[in-house]
Amino acid sequence: MKKILCLALSILALTACHKERPSYIVQVSLGSWNHADYTAAQVISRIDTVSSIIPVGKVIIGWTADKAIYREVGDYLHSKGIKMLLWLPVFAETEGVCDNSPAVDLWGRTPANYDLAAGEGFRFNCPSDPRNVANVVGIYDRLFSDCGFDGVFLDRIRSQSFVGGVSGVLSCGCPICRERYAAEGVDLDAVRAAYEASGDSFFDVTAGSADDSFFDVTADSADDASPAVTAYERGFHLSNPIAADFFRAKEKIVSGSVGAVADSLRGRGLEIGLDLYAPFMAPFVGQDYEILSEHADFIKPMLYRKTFAPAGMGFEYDLLRKAVPDASGYPAIEMSAEFLDSQLDAMAPYPCEKYPGIEINYRKGIVPTSPEYVRESLEHVMAHRFQGAVLSWNIMEAPDSHIAALR
């Protein structure tokens, strides 16, 4: 039944006229604060080539603090009618340019980090400390406000994930956060005690209803060809009410702070894009699509099926299951095209533009993508008829065969 419905929807999507042709957003991972990996001429040459193959509407570039590069690239992009957005990290990786207070878990420890090829360390900062929020806006004002940016793409707008084990998601527990959770009716000492008393079962989930805020998996459904792929709308329904309340408050606190950063930058006339975890995992890292979409011009859920690194959907889900192996209710999830559809369905209702993020980069053993994979992902994304797609995460290194697959 489900297959027939999907087929009918696909045919409908193919035959219907697009009001506007979808456009692509590409990302240029320029380098860390102190070092640009590419020159302006290299970036311009690459975008020139790519935009001759596919329609590029926006370029997300950052976050090396080198104004000259952005000014030169910006002049080129604007001459082509392409917008330039600053790629700006919010709650991690800002240590090089400002002094932030780090996030701690409910035991007061710094959650563990993950290094991808020794280049991408993730230290997370407290989402509640007003100084941290002000610092992010200050980075834009100080380093980038006179570079010709049309907008800002906010990355790292979350807590640590299960990359840091249970400690990663049971954060932040600093004194400022304690007060904010208390204001939401959540006592962090009680949350910690509940976890210590119940262990993995603190994270037990059950099938919820479509009205729940932290819901909805029918884990044992025996759908014909894809038993695990059912209604993964916006996450799982946690059985333990203390756990459910904690994550509900965490969504409000983390996403509320992201909203404050976004609003400040919007007040400077900037377009705002947001980098989000896939809907089924987002609540664990404090991302509430409903709150966030109110502060964004567009959202980019990272729907990476073949990235075995942070934010990869299968990677993060495996870490969850390894972190709490005895928690019940979590089904095996195959990173299939049907699962991709479930996440595309889940992001559909929100009132901003939607550009799902798909990986087009390749890295042996970590991101084993192929032209066929890129083509399949894109077909499913486009069938949902959003505004376009974000090609992640570094157009400078994406294989030409993957870009050609997008034609």
Q: Residue numbers of the site for Zn ion (CB under 5 A)?
A: 126, 128, 172, 174, 177
Nearer of residues 87 and 246 to Zn ion, judged by Cβ: 246
Nearer of residues 128 and 307 to Zn ion, judged by Cβ: 128
Q: Count of residues for the chain?
A: 407
For the CB of residue 102, give the shortest distance to Zn ion in the complex, in Å.
Answer: 9
Nearer of residues 26 and 174 to Zn ion, judged by Cβ: 174
For the CB of residue 104, give the shortest distance to Zn ion in the complex, in Å.
Answer: 7
Query: Cα–Cα distance between 93 and 316 in angstroms, integer?
Result: 20
DSSP summary character for residue 303? -
Local structure of 37: helix, strand or coil: coil
Where does residue 222 rank: exposed (0-12), middle (13-18), buried (19+ CB within 10 A)?
exposed
For the CB of residue 172, give the shortest distance to Zn ion in the complex, in Å.
Answer: 3
Where does residue 152 rank: exposed (0-12), middle (13-18), buried (19+ CB within 10 A)?
buried
For the CB of residue 132, give the shortest distance to Zn ion in the complex, in Å.
Answer: 9
Nearer of residues 177 and 403 to Zn ion, judged by Cβ: 177
The pairing of strands 353-354 and 23-29 is unpaired
For the CB of residue 99, give the shortest distance to Zn ion in the complex, in Å.
Answer: 15
Nearer of residues 159 and 369 to Zn ion, judged by Cβ: 159
For the CB of residue 330, give the shortest distance to Zn ion in the complex, in Å.
Answer: 28
Residue 168 half-sphere exposure toward CB, CA atoms < 13 A: 23
Place of tokens 């029918």: 218
Q: Which are the contacts of 269, defined by CB distance < 8 A and separation ≥ 6?
A: none
Where does residue 118 rank: exposed (0-12), middle (13-18), buried (19+ CB within 10 A)?
exposed
Nearer of residues 174 and 396 to Zn ion, judged by Cβ: 174
* The residue type at 73: V
